[in-house]
Amino acid sequence: MTTTRTDNEFQIRGLEVRYGADRVVRDMNLSAAPGRVTCVLGPNGAGKTTTLRAGLGLVRRHAGECQRPDRTNVLLDDGGLIPGLTVRQHVTARALSAGVPTGCVDDLIDTVGMSGAAAMKIGRCSMGMKRRTALAAALVGDPQLVVLDEPSAGLDPEGIRWLGTLLRGLARQGVAVLTTTHHLAEAAAMTDDVAVIAGGTLRFSGPLEEMTSGTTSGSLDDAFFALTGGEAR
């Protein structure tokens, strides 16, 4: 089947993923547009990570099609951090493996607020410092799309606010930012578009305002729980 490819846009259409007999994702459509932050929300086990991984070609698709920009960077799990490397060595290694000049490394470390700890071994870094290091590596090579699975995990409130500012700044530069989070307040503060997944299916996809306008309170929490009904697998 032929797809109409819009460069810089991430799209998943009609995705189905099965683990054994279990259809954990079905009829899934998801997109992330350049210049916008798209937040994927859903209860534990909803299928968020599976959807992202399948869209990136890291998990087998049983149906559907996906497209993504050539320069797509991802941050999944801990970002492959190696305790014995320093922060600078980790980001440099990522640049080298991506074939990107290493002149960008110190700028990226600065972008994530880690200049003062560039020579620190990752094994000695706090959880928040590790997330910032992994984020710096995920920004190597001027990506058109960044896919971040729970990038705020382990960040303190100040770190979560900082992350939102960083992601909004990336979007302002034209990057398509696709991220997941369990923190609804974080999502409300930073996202343009929302996709809600529950029970392996898409319950909502569209601008944040459209989702919250469906509730009397106008809050993302109420809209989220109305869509998901407190489900978890």
Ligand X SMILES: Nc1ncnc2c1ncn2[C@@H]1O[C@H](COP(=O)(O)OP(=O)(O)OP(=O)(O)O)[C@@H](O)[C@H]1O
Our CB check for ligand X shows the closer of 77 and 142 to be 77
Instruction: State how far the Cα of 181 lies from the Cα of 28, in Å rounded to an integer.
Output: 18
Compare residues 46 and 91 and give the one whose CB is closer to ligand X: 46
Tokens encoding 39: 């937040």
Compare residues 41 and 118 and give the one whose CB is closer to ligand X. Answer: 41
Q: What does the angle CA 161 – CA 100 – CA 37 come to, to the nearest 5 degrees? A: 30
Decide: is 44 part of the binding site for ligand X (CB under 6 A).
yes
Q: Which of 9, 3, 50 is nearest to 26 (CA)?
A: 50
* Nearest to ligand X of 15, 223 (CB atom): 15
Question: Which residues neighbour 49 within 8 Å (Cβ) at sequence distance 6 or greater?
Answer: 76, 149, 180
Which range of residues in 5-13, 41-49, 77-85, 151-159 is near ligand X by CB under 6 A? 41-49
Range in contact with ligand X (rule: CB under 6 A) among 30-38, 40-48, 99-107, 129-137: 40-48
Nearest CA to 79 out of 154, 159, 9 is that of 154
CA 76 and chain centroid, separation: 8
Residue 156: Cβ within 10 Å count: 12
39-47, 87-95, 102-110, 217-225 -> range binding ligand X (CB under 6 A): 39-47
Residues of span 9-28 touching ligand X by CB under 6 A: 19, 24
Closer residue to ligand X (CB): 76 or 188: 76
Residue number with CB closer to ligand X (5 or 233):
233
Quote the DSSP letter at residue 122: G
Span near ligand X by CB under 6 A; candidates 47-55, 70-78, 105-113, 137-145: 47-55
Instruction: Give the nearest distance from C-beta 120 to ligand X in angstroms.
Output: 29
Q: Which of residues 174-233 bind ligand X (CB under 6 A)?
A: 233
Binding of ligand X by 48 (CB under 6 A): yes
How does DSSP assign 27-69, residue by residue? EEEEEE-TT-EEEEE--TTSSHHHHHHHHTTSS--SEEEEE--
Could you tell me if 148 and 75 are in contact, meaning their C-beta atoms sit under 8 angstroms apart?
Answer: yes
List the one residue out of 182, 180, 154, 157 whose CA is nearest residue 167. Answer: 180
Q: Of residues 45, 113, 154, 207, which one binds ligand X by CB under 6 A?
A: 45
Binding stretches for ligand X (CB under 6 A): 19, 24, 42, 44-50, 233
